Structure 1
Amino acid sequence: MTLATLSDARSELHRIFGFSEFRGRQEDVVERVLAGQSTLAVMPTGAGKSLTYQLPAAMLPGTCVVISPLIALMHDQLRSARANGIRAATLTSADADWRETLDAFRCGNLDLLYVAPERASQPGFRDLLSTASLSLFAIDEAHCVSEWGHDFRPDYRRLRGLMDDFPDVPRLALTATADRQTRADILAQLAIPEDGLVLAGFDRPNIRYAIRPRDNPVQQLARLMAEEAGPGIVYAPTRRKVEELADKLGAATGRPVLPYHAGLDAEVRAANQHAFVASEDMVIVATVAFGMGIDKPDVRFVAHVGVPKSIEGYYQETGRAGRDGDPARAVMYWGAGDFARARMRLEEVEEARRQSERERLDALAALVETPGCRRALLLRHFGESPPNACGNCDNCLDPPQVSDATELARKLLSAAYRTGQSFGIGHLQKVLTGSMDERVIQRGHDRLSVFGIVAAEEAALLRPVARALQARGDLIANEHGGLQLAGNARAILKGEMPLAVVMPPRRRSKRGGAGGGANPVGDPLFDALRALRRELAEEAGVPPYVVFHDATLRAMAEARPASLGAMGALPGIGAKKLEAYGQQFLDVISRN
């Protein structure tokens, strides 16, 4: 590709999107696409993956066909593309205007055509593509093509055959969540050369990670919501828990809180999702069914009530926070039972994948139990070599106390074994501390050698030790909740393996540091700009962020432009948006 072409791309970047420079590895990806080279781009959520095909699509002759896994995600990206003046359409079962879309495609009047993999894999769609000029195949959420990925979708496997029928059309695969094994599989499955990998890294420096033992999740989440005024997502493990938390959090905080799960009526689900996308302060409580189809940039926190299914899932779900680049938080509240249930589910996984799934779960346990930097451990899992401290996770900001709990772990494991591996931590705690509990005496456990061998000052550590052992898989719960020895339990009992535990953290009254909110609270001009944005969004039937991001409003409030030319120089204001909204925002600025 010539320098002039790259210069053209920068010019179009400013004209269409209002940005003067590419971010991260965007330029490398765009350069390859414009040169007709097939590419796998692994870029963190929020790094602007969609721009790497939207910009070339607006510059190249023909239509870019985008394969995307969810209708909601397609419609969200459609709104944003059209707001920037890009000719885009979706071809889904939810679109009543499909005839107009087909006509526009055949006439060459589309820059982007979004379709689902299920439609793209049909023979009739191949016939449709042969009727028009194509510029690019863009495969979003490309980790879905890999059986090693955490979100495998069989129809993604059929895309290779479709694309092979158009050998002159380059292909761009995009994902934020692919470890080394998954990346290799994507390259092979989509026939992208190994030198076509552009790896932008996985770090999301604006997200503050924190992981806490779960005690009273409603109180814990209410505190988080009191500190974060913006939109948030709470992930809960079951539909029942989703409903319960949504009701209790709404009552406890006075904030708008809605549930989302697959058991809700489809219309209710769609209405709740629409309300959340359009809101500037709503919290949605959901199962993991929610999120992949949401490209909402202003989510200020993502909280997990329980451990996610894998470390890749955790990365993807927390990555829904702070896509606009502003400070955001990812908080997990976990309990020992989460890992017990997860390890039981491993038995249901087909044997060929069981070991890799076990390794993913072990990586998640290490993330939860580490006294070191959460971000560093997370990034190492994806093959990176980060600094040992990030300065923006709970352990870096407030280093925890680590205690050698080897002897206490041996006592706990011994008690579990001597009581028949049939009792939970509550009963074992009573035995070890010498409680003359009726059930302990009735079972004869007051006559065991482990009765009363834990002193009062050690007793507070029993539950953290039990959590650590269960997270590591050295204690597992049976279907009745009884704790059984597993993993490295016998090695610990024999004194061949040490155990260190992280002490429960102190509650911090203030959050402070890099995770603080970025918007100028109480600034009358910023508030007035937001009010106008809300009004324009309602008129257009789009979420407020489609009009302008908060960062663009902050730039307006700070620069106070007095002309359209000055406003057009601010970040995030392309030609189409300047023409559509510029004068109205100038009027607000002049009045404040």
Structure 2
Amino acid sequence: MPDLQQIKSTLKEYFGYDTFRPLQQEIIDAVFNHRDNLVIIPTGGGKSICYQLPALLLPGVTLVISPLIALMKDQVDGLLANGIHAAFINSSQTESEQQDIYQKLLDKEIKLLYVAPESLSFLDTIFSQIELSLIAIDEAHCISAWGHDFRPAYTQLGYLKTKFPKTPVIALTATADKATRQDICDQLNIPNAIQHLASFDRKNLSLEVRPGNKRIEQIINFLKDKPNDCGIIYCLSRKTTEAIAEKLQQQGYTAEAYHAGIDHHKRSKVQEGFINDTVQIVCATIAFGMGIDKSNVRWVIHYNLPKNIEGYYQEIGRAGRDGLPSSTLLFHSYADVVQLQKFANMSGNQEVQLAKLDRMKQYADSLSCRRKILLSYFGELIEEDCGNCDVCKNPPTFIDGTIIAQKALSTVTRIKEQEPIGTVIDILRGAQNAAVYDKGYQNLKSYGIGNEISWRDWQQYIIQLINQGYLEIAFHQNNKLKLTSRSKKVLFEGKKVSIAHLQEFEKIKEVAIEQIAKSSTPDLFEKLRLLRLELAKEAGIPAYQIFSDATLKEMEKSRPMSDDEFMQINGVGRQKMQNYGYQFIKAIIDFSQEKTTKKKKKSSKKGNTHKETLTLYKEGLSIEEIAIKRQLAASTVFSHIMKLHEDGEDIDLKQFVSAADLSAVKKAKEELDQPDTLKPYFEHFEQALDYNTIKIALTVLKDESIDVKN
């Protein structure tokens, strides 16, 4: 083992540092003592030196397993620039280039060899001819199904310890929760590895979360006071990266897209431009930035909600690696959650990924200090709020939640930390279901002690307790709630707990929704979407059962103004035409009228269409006669009639509904206790009356009721 002086002089000579960062020397000493190590150090904390420095002083070659070509290239370029003999082998090279590297290995001219896990099997012959002094597995969380970035190719790596039992293994990652840490050690056959866990607290990063409305405008405003700072915008889709890059270029920024669909040469050019500060902004999918040691990234934006906290933390960690103040901004929306749920459902560990996505959503919705949530997720508990996140800067109203916390924590204690959040709430509320009775939980002292609090409110309270580090979720144990070291302080040491007032929680959500509505000028798609939502609520069915987004998009594009045109839209069948056609045609006509009014143009034929229908109605023509005369479908004329009635024209709707149907709807209204939606009526009449007839009858009954009152 080299002495401390030799180690420190190597640190200075090759890496330029006089002193080690926290944990680095301890890890390096363990490597020289032939111990296996698991290293969890956040992005920018100096993981690479933990194996690169020992590689220089050990006699043979250090093998580095790395998941990405871009990461390998960046690491090797950095080492070569520091005068360290390093190389990588991957699919981007020609056979002759690889043969040249094999010869250098045999000639002992290479100290570090970077290899993708998929390429390991091709190197067995070489490994038998050289001395492997150290095996480093970077991005080690990729081996674990509990981790946030599972890669099946990593699961073969356990054989390395079996094949080279005397060679120390060092596994490194920036983010891993408890379950993932244990799984890494088990799968790599290093159960006795020393675990080095650095602090996850990056105090220089400000944390902010915003609703995902008008994101491009918000990003441009965000960048106004950062005209020369470089940053990364992470997106879920390739298409989005290109769209944002184009919009930022139009604003004068040097912005580029980066994703797997771009050819290798172009990606390398973007990456090198970013590293060299000739590209200011990279709009990227999540692969960008892994292992890239660029210290002056001043901000990171997540255009979409990340799929889990590990990935989010790793990505924001690419900002401010030099320790200077840096900004992070996360946008989130319900659409992001739906998209990520689809991804999770296609994954090999669906249940875990959905639970982690749920936790990510809770972070975005939270009214607790965001840094506390991040740190407690990784098992690091802090007492004080950070003061450098949006929640701390605009804190909600807090209430004394000590008794609520004690009830929840004592229940988790009594069930020996063996149940997820839903069962814990059922016990607290005294539920009489199988989840409780099958295990005898109704006999616990805490059974029913929280029955005065609704199920949903309990859920919010417990999420706040998790956010503040009083409870944690064991994702690898079916999401069971576990106590933390802070729990005892509440249960036995009289520690007070503050929680956000739920009424304010609802108020803040309402304000956010209101702001979205106020700040955006709805396009036709948005109007149709809101109409769909209104109709869905009215009918008591999910919105997608009326029309899909794709169908609404086609309506937006084609602007159908008649039944025949409407029936040409993909996703519109005869029944849906009868049930909803007139409302959507009306919305499209209204939108067209608004646009023409705003542009101060003369009313078009579409704008006069209601007046023409009104003229013919006043002449005594029926809907069918008007339809024939105007060459329109009956339901289109019907939409005109309803619109005219709403606008206060003297329209007698009674003539459009038979006395028998009106009487039947009136009776049903009394029997059904006057429901607010159409679906109960539709089901009551066993589909004998369509939605339009029911709607007319209800409108007539409502008008009669108003007349009686007057």
The verdict on a shared fold, with TM-score over 0.5 as the criterion, is: yes
Partner in structure 1 of residue 230 of structure 2: 231
Q: Tell me which of 532, 536, 541 is aligned to 1:421.
A: 541
In structure 2, distance between residues paired with 1:225 and 1:243 = 18
Inter-CA distance 280–265: structure 2 relative to 1 (3 Å threshold)? closer
Q: Per-residue deviation at 1:388? A: 3.6
In structure 2, distance between residues paired with 1:280 and 1:389 = 38
Give the partner amino acid of 2:381: S
Partner in structure 2 of residue 175 of structure 1: 173
Contact persistence 2:159–2:188 (CA under 8 A): no
Give the partner amino acid of 2:156: R
If each structure's helix is expressed as a fraction of its own residues, which one has the higher value? 2
Q: Per-residue deviation at 1:5? A: 2.1
Inter-CA distance 191–406: structure 2 relative to 1 (3 Å threshold)? closer
Contact persistence 2:185–2:193 (CA under 8 A): no
In structure 2, distance between residues paired with 1:21 and 1:343 = 45
**Unaligned regions of 5+ residues in structure 2, if any?**
398-500, 514-532, 545-584, 591-638, 647-668, 678-710
Partner in structure 2 of residue 315 of structure 1: 313
Q: Tell me which of 189, 210, 213 is aligned to 2:187.
A: 189
Partner in structure 1 of residue 354 of structure 2: 358
Q: Per-residue deviation at 1:41? A: 0.5
Structure 2 SS opposite 1:284: strand
Matches within 5 A, 1:431-446: none
Matches within 5 A, 1:218-297: 218-228=216-226, 229-252=228-251, 254-279=252-277, 282-292=280-290, 294-297=292-295
Structure 2 SS opposite 1:303: strand
Q: Per-residue deviation at 1:100? A: 3.0
In structure 1, distance between residues paired with 2:101 and 2:264 = 25
Q: Per-residue deviation at 1:203? A: 2.2
Deviations 1:79-102 (A, max 9, x none): 211222222111223345333322
Structure 2 SS opposite 1:268: helix
TM-score scaled by structure 1?
Answer: 0.67
Partner in structure 2 of residue 117 of structure 1: 117
In structure 1, distance between residues paired with 2:504 and 2:586 = 29
Partner in structure 2 of residue 41 of structure 1: 39
Q: Per-residue deviation at 1:398? A: 3.5
Structure 2 SS opposite 1:169: coil
Pair 1:397-2:393 in alignment: yes
Q: Per-residue deviation at 1:322? A: 2.0
In structure 1, distance between residues paired with 2:217 and 2:333 = 16
Q: Per-residue deviation at 1:138? A: 0.5
Partner in structure 2 of residue 565 of structure 1: none
In structure 2, distance between residues paired with 1:251 and 1:153 = 38
Inter-CA distance 199–5: structure 2 relative to 1 (3 Å threshold)? same
Contact persistence 1:298–1:321 (CA under 8 A): yes
Structure 2 SS opposite 1:114: strand
Larger Rg: 2
In structure 1, distance between residues paired with 2:98 and 2:342 = 46
Structure 1 SS opposite 2:297: coil
Partner in structure 2 of residue 580 of structure 1: none
In structure 2, distance between residues paired with 1:173 and 1:42 = 9
Identity of aligned residues (%): 40
In structure 1, distance between residues paired with 2:221 and 2:383 = 31
Matches within 5 A, 1:131-150: 131-150=129-148
Partner in structure 2 of residue 343 of structure 1: 341
In structure 2, distance between residues paired with 1:153 and 1:407 = 40
Give the partner amino acid of 2:109: N
Give the partner amino acid of 1:379: L
Is the deviation greater in 239-248 or in 268-277? 268-277
In structure 2, distance between residues paired with 1:87 and 1:341 = 44
Inter-CA distance 325–216: structure 2 relative to 1 (3 Å threshold)? same
Q: Per-residue deviation at 1:215? A: 2.1
In structure 2, distance between residues paired with 1:152 and 1:340 = 21
Partner in structure 2 of residue 428 of structure 1: none
In structure 1, distance between residues paired with 2:346 and 2:132 = 43
Inter-CA distance 30–125: structure 2 relative to 1 (3 Å threshold)? same
Matches within 5 A, 1:475-494: none
Contact persistence 1:46–1:325 (CA under 8 A): no
In structure 2, distance between residues paired with 1:308 and 1:247 = 22
Q: Tell me which of 367, 374, 382 is aligned to 1:371.
A: 367
In structure 2, distance between residues paired with 1:348 and 1:60 = 44
Structure 2 SS opposite 1:395: helix
Is the deviation greater in 188-197 or in 92-101? 92-101
Inter-CA distance 317–11: structure 2 relative to 1 (3 Å threshold)? same
In structure 1, distance between residues paired with 2:278 and 2:159 = 43
In structure 1, distance between residues paired with 2:310 and 2:162 = 30
Deviations 1:410-469 (A, max 9, x none): 9x9999765413349xxxxxxxxxxxx977997999x98779xxxxxxxxxxxxxxxxxx
Contact persistence 2:216–2:244 (CA under 8 A): yes
Inter-CA distance 326–99: structure 2 relative to 1 (3 Å threshold)? farther
Contact persistence 1:13–1:19 (CA under 8 A): yes
Contact persistence 1:210–1:331 (CA under 8 A): yes
In structure 1, distance between residues paired with 2:317 and 2:536 = 39
Q: Per-residue deviation at 1:108? A: 1.8
Give the partner amino acid of 1:366: Q
Q: Per-residue deviation at 1:307? A: 0.3
Inter-CA distance 81–265: structure 2 relative to 1 (3 Å threshold)? closer
Inter-CA distance 159–370: structure 2 relative to 1 (3 Å threshold)? same
In structure 2, distance between residues paired with 1:151 and 1:406 = 32
In structure 1, distance between residues paired with 2:151 and 2:54 = 27
Matches within 5 A, 1:450-461: none
In structure 2, distance between residues paired with 1:422 and 1:133 = 64
**Unaligned regions of 5+ residues in structure 1, if any?**
425-436, 452-592
In structure 2, distance between residues paired with 1:20 and 1:199 = 23
Structure 1 vs Structure 2 CA RMSD: 3.2
Contact persistence 1:71–1:293 (CA under 8 A): no
Pair 1:380-2:379 in alignment: no
Deviations 1:130-161 (A, max 9, x none): 21122100000001111111211222111221
Contact persistence 1:230–1:280 (CA under 8 A): no
In structure 2, distance between residues paired with 1:93 and 1:338 = 34
Q: Per-residue deviation at 1:280? A: 5.4
Q: Per-residue deviation at 1:6? A: 3.1
Contact persistence 1:41–1:197 (CA under 8 A): yes
Q: Per-residue deviation at 1:195? A: 4.9
In structure 2, distance between residues paired with 1:340 and 1:102 = 48
Inter-CA distance 303–419: structure 2 relative to 1 (3 Å threshold)? same
Is the deviation greater in 367-376 or in 193-202? 193-202
Structure 2 SS opposite 1:291: coil
Inter-CA distance 191–373: structure 2 relative to 1 (3 Å threshold)? same
Contact persistence 1:107–1:132 (CA under 8 A): no
Inter-CA distance 103–399: structure 2 relative to 1 (3 Å threshold)? same
Contact persistence 1:242–1:287 (CA under 8 A): yes
Contact persistence 1:276–1:283 (CA under 8 A): yes
Say which structure, 1 or 2, has more relative contact order (CA 8 Å, 6+ apart).
1
In structure 2, distance between residues paired with 1:390 and 1:36 = 39
In structure 1, distance between residues paired with 2:234 and 2:119 = 30
